[in-house]
A and B are shown apart, each in its own frame.
Chain A
Amino acid sequence: GENVEQHPSTLSVQEGDSAVIKCTYSDSASNYFPWYKQELGKRPQLIIDIRSNVGEKKDQRIAVTLNKTAKHFSLHITETQPEDSAVYFCAARETNTGNQFYFGTGTSLTVIP
């Protein structure tokens, strides 16, 4: 089955700096890669996603890049703000068979004011 690894497990940045979280996956058939943000005591919520036919996607201060050859994808948050503090999860899915999602172990991001 698929194996998703996520690094780092914790990340602290100064407000205004950038944050980068990296994930690798093992199954070359995976073709959908969502990123979820989970605030303390809340449910995970999608913040951005990317499909295997795209190399990069941006949404305001958030971007995701995908390298299919190397089987890794990354989340980039620019101009970080205190409200970006949360746990972030990456995931991989093979949508041709619509199977389960495979999650990384999460990154706890703290933005220091």
Chain B
Amino acid sequence: DAGITQSPRYKITETGRQVTLMCHQTWSHSYMFWYRQDLGHGLRLIYYSAAADITDKGEVPDGYVVSRSKTENFPLTLESATRSQTSVYFCASSDPYNEQFFGPGTRLTVL
């Protein structure tokens, strides 16, 4: 959906580097989420946010940092990338009562 975008779509980086994945939505959804998807693990929640300046840890938050200064943006930062963070990252947004809409995903490779 054009309403939620992620950038970059593909990223190759090296161990120890800082990486920021961007997520932008145009629906003014209050909730935003970051998931990682690895083969055999389904969708695992990293962090989510109920509103600007409110964030909460999900299932696998270690090694990640998020911020949400504006409702429409929810960047995810890997402070010091590790090989185990090689994955596909999906951002999603929703209102409080209905389904999530997922972004197109970012495929991250850490060498």
Residues of A within 8 A of B (CB): 32, 34, 43-46, 49, 89, 95, 98, 100-101, 103-106
Contact = CB atoms under 8 A, between A and B. Distances in A.
B74 interface: no
Nearest to B30: A98
A43 B58 CA distance: 20
Nearest to A105: B42
A105 B42 CA distance: 5
B99 A100 contact: no
Contacts of A103: 42-43
A32 B31 CA distance: 16
A45 B33 CA distance: 15
Interface stretch (B16-24, B75-83, B100-108): B100-108
Contact of B45 (A34, A100, A105, A106): A100
Given A98-B50, A98-B96, A101-B33, A43 B103 contact: yes
A43 B104 contact: yes
B43 A43 contact: no
Contacts, number: 44
Contacts of A49: 98-99
Given A43-B105, A44-B102, A89 B43 contact: yes
Nearest to A49: B99
B45 A32 contact: no
A98 B31 contact: yes
A100 B97 contact: no
Among B56, B94, B96, B99, max chain A CB count under 10 A is at B99
Contacts of B101: 46
Contacts of A101: 33, 45, 94, 100
A101 B101 CA distance: 12
7 contacts: A34-B99, A43-B103, A43-B105, A44-B43, A44-B90, A100-B56, A101-B100
A75 to B, nearest CB: 15
Q: What are the 3 closest A-B residue pairs judged by CB atoms, nearest first?
A: A98-B96, A43-B102, A105-B42
A103 B56 CA distance: 17
